[in-house]
Structure 1
Amino acid sequence: MAAAPLRIEVVCAQPGRAWRLPVEVPPGATVADALAAADLPAKVPGLVVDPECLAVFGRTVTPAEALRDGDRVEVLRPLLIDPMQARRRRARDA
């Protein structure tokens, strides 16, 4: 009996719009496999997926990370400013 495919959700949020793409991948699939199945660059204008900006349920992962059924792969936006620098700037300006 063949193993059931994994049901994975791939999400990407940009200013003003978000994409939620359910995909099915074979058991043993990785984050990279789920991203390939979702084909985000064809659906999200101008998106370039940075391998350093990936997460599963908010936990940073690599493209080689194995997935489990029900996982949500998140394509994150890169930080524009270091959070610590932003905090120091706000404290200085207050």
Structure 2
Amino acid sequence: MSEPGTINVEVAYALPGKQAIISLSVAEGTTALEAARQSGVTQKFEGVDLENAKLGVFGKAVAPTQVLREGDRVEIYRPLIADPKEVRKARAAKSKERRQA
């Protein structure tokens, strides 16, 4: 149970081999970006750029200014290293080549 004027939220971040869900109490009216900053995630993971990271709440993208509610989980998304559409196209072309050979 949280203190009056505070809410309980979680901040999640994951790499392929390491992940963390950090629980914290924040003041009512705290934004997604503020909660991410308060979580200390940048001390646990090198290279996390909160100012430019995409954020979400339970899998739905939100603005950094999104005000959080009790129980929300802020997710910090890593940038994509490859365009998924291009990867699918390349995989389909490779599969087509194998079938024709």
**Aligning the two structures, in what range does the TM-score lie when normalised by the shorter sequence?**
0.7 to 0.9
The 5-angstrom pairing of residues 30-41 of structure 1 reads: 30-41=31-42
* TM-score, normalised relative to structure 2: 0.82
Helix, strand or coil at the partner of 1:92: helix
Larger Rg: 2
Gaps of 5+ in 2: 96-101
Helix, strand or coil at the partner of 2:37: helix
Q: Go from structure 1 to structure 2 and tell me whether the alpha carbon gap of 1:18 and 1:62 turns closer, same or farther (over 3 Å shift).
A: same
Amino acid at match of 2:68: L
* TM-score, normalised relative to structure 1: 0.88
Gaps of 5+ in 1: none
After alignment, is 33-42 or 50-59 more displaced?
Answer: 50-59
Aligned partners of 2:24, 2:38: CA distance in 1, in Å?
Answer: 7
Q: Show the counterpart of 2:15.
A: 14
Q: Show the counterpart of 1:44.
A: 45
Identical pairs, percent: 34
Pick the structure with more helix per residue: 2
Aligned partners of 2:52, 2:61: CA distance in 1, in Å?
Answer: 10
Deviations, residues 43-76 of structure 1 (Å, cap 9, x unaligned): 2123222534211111111110111110000011
Aligned residues: 93
Helix, strand or coil at the partner of 1:21: strand
> Which runs of structure 1 show a deviation greater than 4 angstroms over 4 or more consecutive aligned residues?
none
Q: Show the counterpart of 1:86.
A: 87
